[in-house]
Structure 1
Amino acid sequence: MTATRVIIDCDPGQDDAINLFLAFASPEEIEVLGITTVAGNAPVALTQRNARLICELAGRGDVLVHAGCTAPLSVAPLTAEHVHGATGIDGLDIWEPAMLLQPVHAVDYLVDTLLGADQAPTLVATGPLTNIAMALTREPGIVPRIERIVLMGGAMREGGNITPSAEFNMRADPHAADIVLRSGVPIVMLGLDVTHELLVTRARLARMKAIGNPVATAAHDMLAFSERYDLAKYGKDGAPLHDPCTMAWLLRPDLFCTRPCSVAVETGSPLTLGHTAVDFWGITQGRRSIQWAYDVDVEGFFDLLFERLARFPAARFSRRRSA
């Protein structure tokens, strides 16, 4: 089996962290070329620090991390500390990572890496799409150099989670999302329609904690913090787990039901800014170039996640100095 080569563009965020763990636990299937971070769940100064911290916790200090765009293309910045806490990954003890942040800006890294790759990588996007949109705008020649984009974002039947009609990543930079969705790159889009099925219930949290290694314990502690907001919001026995859908799709696409759709993002209306108009039934003549996920095998997803978290060593993690 040849591993899928990926660049992960993210805004950690507890669920971004779980997605990185899932990638790092799967080296036979996933080769992580690099990580780029963007402002989203927290400002970019924190998301790049959090990405390096997660790499160290997972024993992957060799992965290069590049900081990217600090603000959206056109709208005012939007962050989600009300969900993720002041650090972006509250629930986890914070330290200053020993691994260095790379000096090259994330957009430059994306352009240079894609143009120079002998095999087109897949971009995995779990935050606002600002970095990727900027790279596509700066160098349109990268379009055929991208195998596909697998992204977490959007909603059809579930409504929004940051406004009544918009999912957070789409609303945080709708103009960037519009550029990416119209780019012609093959896209797999995993939105709230599937992530709201993936509830981290108390029983699943307990199962995660019982794995016992430092990475699984960290995953438990972060999710135990971040889910408090959604538990109060939705009134269910568990909060949705969003970003790991992307890596799960790469590892086990059979867990998801998708269909080709045309998808457009609202960029003009103050009322519905960031809304994703998903032509699920092919009503219009739009190009149906986006694979929209509409269902998921919930138990299969969590079995995969727990099995991969159990792959990390049981040795005690030595925490670096506190930030």
Structure 2
Amino acid sequence: MNELNDTGSPAEGSQGHDIARHQPSRRSFLRTSLAASLATLGVTGAGSAFAELTSTDGATRLAADGSPRRTVIIDCDPGQDDAIAILFALGAHDQIDLKALTTVGGNVPLNLTERNARIVRDWADKTQTLPVYAGCPKPLMRELITAANVHGRSGLDGVTLHEPRGPLEKQHAVTYLIDTLRAAAPGSVTLVGIGPLTNIATALTAAPEGAKALREIVIMGGAWYQRGNITPAAEFNIYVDPEAASIVLGAGVPVTVVPRDVSVKAPITPERIVPLRALKNRCGPIVADIMAAEVAYQKGRIGVESAPMYDPCTVAYLIDPTMFGGRRVNVAVETTGLLTLGETVVDWNGRSKRPANAMWLTDVDADRFYDTLLARISRLP
């Protein structure tokens, strides 16, 4: 998740993996993708798994469901805030069983996002146990827009990087997602999407039967009250691949959206960095350095000593949903607008009569969030 972003060239890296066996042809795939992306704009089939909007005023505090440890896959584009989110999830190993990281072109090109994911797992001593899969290098129908000016050329500005100690998995991330969901029990897997949603959308389009395995998709993306951070109307992750976001929101599976509306309510401040820097482990000071770099960027850009806390809010939601408030609403993505491309259109008052297709988070207890982050990072090496 990012503020002002640059356009970059999509990088293929060494990820020329073949997923053609899951797609009859590019033409038929795009035809299917377009149909799915438009489904969220109509009533038929969109959000059929959800209850109708039941309230039009106020936000409800979310309740913990008492479920056991979640099986989680994080789809990401590291990215400073992605790195913190991954470490956060690894520190919550009693609640989150993180099976894999799948990477996508986003904050920086794919050859850097997969490299950064492998570096982050090294920091947590998960080199041999947490696989990393590289996925789509560019959006479904557009050229890649990156945020290298925000995250640095490496994507992880603010920290010293080493050469990854473990290899990248040979399987394409989309193939991994398809195979994993096909083999999983119904309602057993949570996908966390904290970059452009290209990998997830491609998997759900190529093998829609895999949706049965999903307990929930939790995405960091979109904006309503806070509006955009890449254009006046759009948030970065959605703007980069609006067609993919529309497919995911129209897939008929439980979706929770953690938008900018929430991220700005848990800002990173110098005071909140101090306890993390004081930790005596390796990962605490690394997280502190990343957060300090994010604050420094905002100070240089707009003169404030704080920064939105984006991707880690998705992990906090998995750990303790009671620190968040929100409501089920219909969310559609603008895929054709000249000035509003990538806008998330939230039907907060039920005016469209379209059924709810997402839980849209609106509030967060910031102090509890940072207490939880500190506690989980303190468990890491």
Sort the TM-score into its range (normalised by shorter chain). over 0.9
Judge conservation of contact 2:75–2:104 (CA < 8 Å) in 1: yes
- After superposition, give the CA deviation of every residue in 1:232-288 in whole Å (9 maximum; x if it has no partner): 445433101100011100001001001000000010012111000001122221111
2:344 aligned with 1:244 = no
Distance in 2 separating the partners of 1:155 and 1:133: 20
Aligned to 1:2: 68
2:170 equivalent among 103, 106, 112? 103
1:128 equivalent among 183, 190, 196? 196
Change over 3 Å in CA distance of 1:34–1:269 after alignment to 2: same
TM-score (norm 1): 0.94
Aligned to 1:253: 321
Question: 1:173-322 residue pairs with structure 2 within 5 A?
Answer: 173-313=241-381
Judge conservation of contact 2:296–2:305 (CA < 8 Å) in 1: no
Distance in 1 separating the partners of 2:189 and 2:98: 10
- Runs of 4+ in structure 1 off by over 6 angstroms are none
Distance in 1 separating the partners of 2:270 and 2:289: 12
Higher relative contact order (CA 8 A, sep 6+): 2
- What secondary structure is seen at the aligned counterpart in 2 of 1:63? coil
TM-score (norm 2): 0.80
Question: 1:83-122 residue pairs with structure 2 within 5 A?
Answer: 83-118=150-185, 120-122=188-190
Q: List alignment gaps of at least 5 residues for structure 2.
A: 1-66
Aligned to 1:56: 122
Aligned to 2:34: none
Distance in 2 separating the partners of 1:182 and 1:256: 24
- What secondary structure is seen at the aligned counterpart in 2 of 1:204? helix
- After superposition, give the CA deviation of every residue in 1:162-221 in whole Å (9 maximum; x if it has no partner): 111100000010010011110111000000000011111111112221123210111111
Give the RMSD, CA atoms, in angstroms: 1.2
Larger deviation, residues 295-304 vs 234-243: 234-243
Distance in 1 separating the partners of 2:99 and 2:87: 15
How many aligned residue pairs are there?
A: 313
Larger radius of gyration: 2
Distance in 1 separating the partners of 2:348 and 2:302: 25
Aligned to 1:66: 133
Letter aligned with residue 86 of structure 1 = R
- What secondary structure is seen at the aligned counterpart in 2 of 1:6? strand
Judge conservation of contact 1:230–1:240 (CA < 8 Å) in 2: no
- What secondary structure is seen at the aligned counterpart in 2 of 1:199? coil
Judge conservation of contact 1:197–1:296 (CA < 8 Å) in 2: yes
Letter aligned with residue 139 of structure 2 = P
Distance in 1 separating the partners of 2:79 and 2:190: 21
- Shift of residue 145 of structure 1? 1.5
Distance in 1 separating the partners of 2:305 and 2:119: 30
Aligned to 2:97: 31
Identity over aligned pairs, percent: 44
Letter aligned with residue 304 of structure 2 = K
Aligned to 2:224: 156
Distance in 2 separating the partners of 1:87 and 1:227: 18
Judge conservation of contact 1:2–1:28 (CA < 8 Å) in 2: no
Larger deviation, residues 217-226 vs 107-116: 217-226
Larger deviation, residues 290-299 vs 90-99: 90-99
Judge conservation of contact 1:149–1:185 (CA < 8 Å) in 2: yes
Aligned to 2:235: 167
Distance in 2 separating the partners of 1:295 and 1:92: 30
Judge conservation of contact 2:329–2:346 (CA < 8 Å) in 1: yes
Q: List alignment gaps of at least 5 residues for structure 1.
A: 314-323
- What secondary structure is seen at the aligned counterpart in 2 of 1:239? coil
Judge conservation of contact 1:199–1:237 (CA < 8 Å) in 2: no
